[in-house]
Structure 1
Amino acid sequence: MSGSLYFLPLGGVGEIGMNLGLYGYAGKWLMVDLGVSFGDDSMPMIDVVMPDPAWIEARRDDLVGLVITHAHEDHLGAVPYLWPRLECPVFAGPFAGAVLANKLHEAGLSSRVPLTLVAPGERFSLGPFDLEMVGLTHSTPDSRALAIHTPAGTVLHTGDWKFDPDPLVGGVSDKDSLRRLGKEGVLALVGDSTNVFSKGEAGSEAEVRASLTGLFAELSGRIAVSCFATNVARVESIALAALANDRSASLVGRSLWRIEKAARAVGFLDGVPPFLKDHDAAHLPEDKVVYICTGSQGEPRAALAHIAQAEHPHVSLGPGDTCVFSSRIIPGNEKSIFRIQNLLAKRGVAVVTEKDRFIHVSGHPARE
């Protein structure tokens, strides 16, 4: 295959999550992303699903490296589980690298995995692949497209992306580099098509922040907001909307604390006061607290599920309180999410979703 460039997806194509892409040239292979997806009602007692790396594991001597495009679980979540079967160098941007480093530490792999941080726009070579990371906006900061240059041509692997003119956290998309690559010539674009059937344009995170601030001003009881932990801009927006309404923000859920640590380590969340622990926030008056919770997709072991079932040791919601779902429903999670919303409603909690107020924008581009 010395003169041909191959793309071999082992996950993430024709499905949401579990991304693993392989590019082959001159007998060598490059891996882009290594993520997970999550079990649903069709897979009882299964929490995490990973791609099968057996094909590349059998050829791991020819695997030159793994490049991570961004910090979402469906792009890096499988690394601690599958890396021992691959044993290749890993490359990521500063934020994704910080998130991954914490996962590797928890898995006892910190000293084994060679993790290199790559700046936006930086070029580096792995075997026959000349690589260039291009900054893009998404629902987590420091997201990258990967331009893969070979003698056979250039492939642009977008990762997940959109064009947000005001992402609030992290830089804007590097359109100049994209234009340059287009003029130089791109053999193929392997792209994010998540919202290809959604008309219009994806909104900006700045608009969500203003809307959340206005919504909080209308509410008098406790406020709980559920969002994706890796959406650092959304976490910041919730915290600043709380501050603007004389409320303190508390993080509820381990993954939120892990992401907060990684974000502050690379210089994000500078303007956000320290978050309260849930047991400290529990002592505040009802109209002085906003809880930011894990569990926006109805995950049964996440904080919001425990709160909805009145099983959380420090956070309780009831009549007069409001729970805001500041996220979209990932296909397949409908039953789990509606179950949590029904449990909250039965407890007298007002439930607000993106159908009720402008409280979420997608991290993926719409059709226009």
Structure 2
Amino acid sequence: MDAENGELAFLPLGGTGEIGMNLNLYCWREGGRETYLAVDCGIGFGGSELPEVDVMMADPGFIADRREALAGLVITHSHEDHIGAVAWLWPQLKCPVYATPFAAAVLKRKLGEVGLTNQVRITIIPPGGAFEVAPFKLRFIRLAHSIPEAQALVVETPIGIVLHTGDWKLDAAPLIGPPTDEAALAELGQRGVLAIVCDSTNAMVEGHSGSEMDVRTSLSALIRGLTGRVAVTCFASNVARMESIALAAHDAGRSVALVGRSLRNMDAAARECGYLKTLPPFLTEDDIDDVPDDNLLILVTGSQGEPRSALSRIARDDHPRVALGEGDTVIYSSRMIPGNERAIGSVQDALVRRGVRLMTDTDHLVHVSGHAARDELRRMYRLVKPRYAVPVHGEWRHLSAHAELAREAGAEPFLLEDGDVLTLGPGRPAVTDSAPVGRLVADGSRLVPLRGEVMNARRRMLFNGIVLGSVALDQAGNLRGQPSVSAPGLLEPTDRETERVAEDFAEALRDLPVGLRRDDDALKDAARTALRRALGRLFGKRPLVDVHLIRV
């Protein structure tokens, strides 16, 4: 690489201006040639703002069109918003993947579920290891986070060093894995860092994020004093928290059963990589009824109110193996992700209605964040001493707060949104271009654009309903029988309004010119308009309308 002729750019396709869907690109341009490096490839969730969406991800179209220039994909850690889209999007990228042993173990399970195990080349990099994805010279730096083996990525180029932090915090006792390698960060700062691309999740939170050790101590004291069945829900990826819960249960004379697929998968990946080795195997759902209530702790998925999660099903009393009721306790060892308040509240209401006692982070020390608060961000800037700062992994208010803090620390911040191309050098960084961005929605086994016709129709059906009209005509264009109208989610089949709509629809069809009624395409358009008007007069709504035409 030639520093005089080369140019380095950073381009977020997802995860900047939002939390989730992380997909970042670095581009080295030299001699008219571009080479790209992708960092992370994660999912996001629809939440209350997009009720028609379950899982979504950044549209990789920009880099998929340039995949011959994509040298590789590096995974900083195995949280869903950083790794969850790989199995969905890799067929469009078809590049080598680089990950630590734990992230590779998690990813291989995901790839196996979609039949890609033997197609994706995964290179395992030890935590803190150096490697090359030509023309990029790369190195991991170990960071503490709420999942094992979180790594910052050092991107070394002839025009300077960029530190891409991924997600991180400073925790002297993270319990699983070592603390953040502050010595390596300080050494990097001594060498000189051109720019830091840094997590902004808790940039609005003063103070420190807290330590996992404090949560372990609190959980042990809390669970020891409880009777009846105890269920604890946490983020499945927080292996240190799983260990803390299991140790607290052991101290209280309780056996631990895992309930939920994501917990079982994470347990398997952790044990494969040498974590949780001091714990005996967890019980399964089938073992629960064999354990007295006072000797049982259930570790369960569903901390964010996901409707199909195990805890949601328990709250509805339709789980096939697990029931909770009067005298039992549920501990939420997690935070409430913004947007999930209503879903979580519904589950908690249902549990309380069944006589269950709730404990959350609002009234007990049962959770600390995995993301750096402002004091930790200040410490990072003192160690790394970057010339420029690029806040990522946050909504606009988080990015703005981070930018203010970076400026106070002596770094010049650049606020970006997905699609902005920031040329980092040579010379002073500047946004020099933009790339097309969008979101894809996982719809069954396929991906569809969030703003495409399929999801637009889904939104209209969700809020305004759908109406289907069926019309039979002979070859001369005469109506045969009465048209039928079906409006699931809008009209009851036996409502008088349904008959009125059908009658208005039939009258409008009979008023159409005979010549038009002989032309199938013209007739369908006119019939849709007629049915839409009949519904508008009755309801004042614009549902999705379709007409089935039958020639007899």
Question: How high is the TM-score relative to the length of structure 2?
Answer: 0.66
Q: Which moved more, 1:169-178 or 1:266-275?
A: 169-178
**Contact 1:155 1:186 (8 Å CA) reproduced:** yes
Q: 1:292 aligns with which of 284, 299, 312?
A: 299
Unaligned stretches of 5+ residues in structure 2: 376-552
Query: Where is the helix percentage greater, Structure 1 or Structure 2?
Result: 2
For the pair 1:64 / 2:67, whether they are aligned, the reply is: no
Amino acid of the structure 1 residue aligned with 2:328: D
Q: Within 2, Cα distance between the matches of 1:22 and 1:282?
A: 50
Name the counterpart of 1:366. Answer: 373
Residues 306-354 of structure 1 show CA distances to partners (whole Å, capped at 9, x for unaligned) of 0010011111111100000000011111111111111111111001100
CA distance in 2 between partners of 1:329 and 1:3 (Å):
45
TM-score, structure 1 as length reference:
0.98
Q: What is the one-letter code of the residue matched to 2:210?
A: G
Which consecutive segments of 4 or more residues in structure 1 shift more than 6 A? Answer: none
Quote the Cα distance in structure 1 between the aligned partners of 2:310 and 2:52. Answer: 19
Please say if 1:6 is aligned against 2:13: no
- Work out which of the two has the higher radius of gyration on C-alpha atoms and give 1 or 2: 2
CA RMSD of aligned residues (A): 1.0
Q: CA deviation at 1:282?
A: 2.2
Deviation, 1:120, is 1.8
Distance of 2:5 and 2:85 partners within structure 1: 30
Higher relative contact order (CA 8 A, sep 6+): 2
Conserved? CA contact 1:2–1:25, under 8 Å = no
Alpha-carbon deviations, 1:3-34, whole Å to 9, x = none?
A: 22111000011111100000001210000000
The question of 1:158 aligning with 2:158 is answered: no
- Cα distance in 2 for partners of 1:135, 1:315 equals 39
**Residue equivalent to 2:288:** 281
Q: Which residue of 2 aligns with 1:181?
A: 188
User: Who is 1:326 aligned against?
Assistant: 333
1:44, 1:335 → 2: CA distance? 12
**173-182 vs 252-261, which moves further:** 173-182
Within a 5 Å distance, the mapping from 1:1-368 to structure 2 comes to 3-26=6-29, 27-368=34-375
The gaps in structure 1 that reach 5 residues or longer are none
Indicate how the Cα distance of structure 1 residues 125 and 346 shifts in structure 2: closer, same or farther if over 3 A, else same.
same
2:49–2:339 CA contact under 8 A, matched in 1: no
Measure how far apart 1:167 and its partner are.
0.9
Residue 2 of structure 1 and its aligned partner are, at CA, apart by 5.2
Aligned-partner Cα distance in 2 for 1:42–1:204: 32
1:42 positional shift: 2.3
Name the residue aligned to 2:466. none
How much has 1:189 moved relative to structure 2? 0.4
Secondary structure at 2:155 match in 1: strand
Output the amino acid matched with 1:202: S
> Residues of 1 paired with 2:250 and 2:280: CA distance?
9
Whether the 8 Å contact between 2:94 and 2:120 is mirrored in structure 1 is yes
| Count of residue pairs the alignment pairs up | 368
Aligned-pair CA distance for 1:41: 2.0
